[in-house]
């Protein structure tokens, strides 16, 4: 890290968050070069244009979710480390992201010092996993024969379920994800089929019980 500058692509759909992340990393990491992206499409475009040492990726951007973008990056640039940043605590989202190949998962609620520790570890070729996430991963391995219902969902289905559980209507979900209401309806139907449920109330109770939403 001392000899050549490290290039980090920061992806978040809030200007003020990107600015804060940029300032923190520039203060703590010598010669670092920071690029910015405000949505999934820009991440894919930036990664295709030039070489990055890592991507700091928000999981909950407008349009395509961070998990969808992570899946694309794992296919197109399997060696590019991706550190997931989220406003949500280390719940099942962290396990899902790590199983998809993320180099780490950190909550925005944690101190900036921990963010820097995580970024430095990933830049050095390691993975950043907190003790909380490590315990969840271990528990997940132990119950592989009894996977929770939401493990069968695609990333988009999982995203729609969480949005429903947080009180969004299907019309609002369509607008937020930039997809048609018909497509959201299809995901909605698949959720009921895969989860064996018949109402949004059941989905919401499940999501709360499994700490998939705050």
CB atoms within 10 A of CB 163: 22
Please state which of the ranges 67-71, 121-125, 139-143 shows the lowest mean pLDDT: 139-143
Is the pLDDT score of 18 beyond 60? yes
**Domain coordinates in residue numbering, the chain:** 7-141, 148-209
CA distance 87 to 81: 20
Tokens (6 digits) for 212: 């998939």
Question: Would you say 54 and 25 are in contact if contact means Cβ atoms under 8 Å apart?
Answer: no
**Count of CB atoms within 10 A of residue 35's CB?**
18
Domain 7-141 belongs to what architecture?
3-Layer(aba) Sandwich (3.40)
Q: Does domain 148-209 have CATH number 3.40.190.10?
A: no
pLDDT single digits (tens) 26-71: 999 988 999 999 999 999 999 999 999 999 999 888 778 888 899 9
pTM higher than 0.75 = no
Give how far the C-alpha of residue 11 lies from the chain's centroid of Cα atoms, to the nearest Å: 11
pLDDT at 114: 86
Mean pLDDT calculated for residue range 101-128: 88
């Amino acid at each position: 890290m001392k000899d050549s500058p490290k290039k980090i692509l920061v992806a978040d759909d809030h200007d003020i968050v990107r600015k804060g992340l940029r300032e923190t990393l520039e203060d703590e990491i010598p010669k670092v070069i920071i690029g910015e992206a405000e949505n999934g499409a820009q991440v894919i475009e930036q990664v295709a244009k030039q070489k990055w040492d890592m991507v700091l990726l928000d999981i909950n951007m407008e349009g395509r979710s961070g998990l969808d973008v992570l899946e694309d990056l794992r296919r197109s640039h399997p060696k590019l480390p991706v550190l997931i940043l989220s406003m949500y605590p280390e719940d099942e989202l962290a396990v899902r992201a790590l199983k998809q190949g993320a180099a780490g998962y950190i909550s925005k609620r944690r101190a900036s010092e921990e963010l820097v520790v995580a970024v430095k570890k990933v830049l050095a070729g390691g993975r950043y996993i907190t003790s909380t996430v490590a315990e969840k991963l271990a528990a997940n391995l132990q119950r592989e024969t009894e996977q929770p219902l939401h493990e069968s969902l695609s990333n988009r289905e999982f995203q729609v379920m969480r949005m429903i559980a947080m009180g969004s209507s299907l019309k609002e979900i369509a607008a937020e994800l930039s997809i048609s209401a018909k497509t959201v309806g299809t995901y909605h139907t698949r959720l009921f089929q895969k989860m064996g449920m018949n109402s949004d109330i059941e989905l919401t109770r499940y999501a709360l019980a499994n700490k998939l939403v705050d």
